[in-house]
Amino acid sequence: TSRGRCILPGEEAFFDFRKQCLATENWLNKYDENGMQVWVEVPAANKKNHVPKVHKIKCKMTIKDVSAATMYDVIHDGQYRKTWDPAMHESFDIARLSNNADVGYYSWVCPNPIKKRDVVTLRSWQKIDDEYIIINFSVKHPKYPPTKKLVRAVSMLTGYFIKPTGPNSCTFIYLSQADPKGSLPKWVVNRASTRLAPRVMRCVHKAGRDYPEWKKQNSPDQKPWLYPEQNKLPMMDPAELSIQRADSLENVDESSKLDAEDSEDSS
């Protein structure tokens, strides 16, 4: 089944992701302080001046006190995430697809009155020379369809690019194009990109500082993302998955809850 094999990202996908992380053209800076920058991509509008509704956002953090390897571990370590991720509602790995790819479930809490969101994503990772890359995108899994309680969001492409700048310092870039679905007004998405992103990034940085101490107490030798032979997840044929497109999910209407604030904050 060639379809299944080609759902797994190849060299090209990692190369392209890295290129986007390092690109400056067509990115509008929204935030720049204390070693942290946030950009939103300015898409080239087509003739009808139709700009895609979904933002692509990029955050870059200059980290002076945590190694690239540690930040990479932090992003991978699902057990540790439970201790530091303030938005997480539920998270678990479902199956592995190859030595450097798995499929997992993640749900998170949104500010009231917005409903909780969830995603099922294929995640793949790679270390090339001294650079670490993790990318994910939404997939349809036969056993984890959308439920009524949560709004199924879609990650078109989300990931991390981590590069050492010294033995205990690194550049950490987060890039995401994700559709929260529902019917969130643009101000919610715009506000989130500039206000929420730096807060989340600071949480990740602090998690990096605290990780070595925590890991000493919690299965210090277990790092299946570095040592695939440690991975005890069931194997799954990637052919059973297909890419989840945003437009095939119904939009849940939340706008009535938000219109009042919309008029106050249309900046």
pLDDT in tens, 54-74: 778 999 999 999 999 999 999
Check pLDDT > 70 for residue 132.
yes
Q: What does the pLDDT read at residue 129?
A: 93
Check pLDDT > 50 for residue 222.
yes
What DSSP state is assigned to residue 67? -
Q: What does the pLDDT read at residue 260?
A: 42
> Whole-angstrom Cα distance, residue 96 to residue 232?
9
The two three-digit tokens of residue 143, written as one number: 């056993």
Q: What does the pLDDT read at residue 166?
A: 98
> Whole-angstrom Cα distance, residue 4 to residue 266?
44
Stretch among 44-58, 63-77, 204-218 having the lowest mean pLDDT = 44-58
Q: What does the pLDDT read at residue 52?
A: 56
The two three-digit tokens of residue 104, written as one number: 């997992």
Q: How confident is the model at residue 4 (pLDDT cuts 50, 70, 90)?
A: very low
Q: Which residue has the higher pLDDT, 30 or 188?
A: 30
**What is the residue-wise DSSP string for 6-27?**
HHS--HHHHHHHHHHHH--TTE
CATH numbers and ranges of domains, the chain: 27-41+53-243 (3.30.530.20)
